[in-house]
Amino acid sequence: MTLANQKQLQNARAKLKLLEEKHAELLAEPGESIATRKLTLQSLERWMKKLKEEIPRYECEDCPSHKGDKGEIRAATFRP
């Protein structure tokens, strides 16, 4: 999954919010069988992790401080 524009970023944020709400709902009210609930939670967590990684990646690539003089993306420099 790679976000390509602001619209996809907005959709990813909305989807993440829905997934987080569903995850919290399942944790609060276990109604399904234990195995089904566990697999559903794992799936939701996997999707949330992907979105939580992809959203900052897109924001970082879109950030002017990470673009060179010609607009190309350059590696971020981290100093301890």
Tallying the residues shown for the chain, one arrives at 80
Q: At residue 79, does pLDDT exceed 80?
A: no
d(CA 62, CA 33): 43
How do residues 41-71 score in pLDDT, each as one tens digit? 999 999 999 999 999 998 887 666 555 544 5
d(CA 29, CA 69): 53
Which residues have C-beta within 8 Å of that of residue 21, sequence separation ≥ 6?
none
What percent of the chain lies above the pLDDT cut of 90?
A: 49
Residue 73 backbone zone (phi > 0: left; psi -120 to 50: alpha; other: beta) = beta
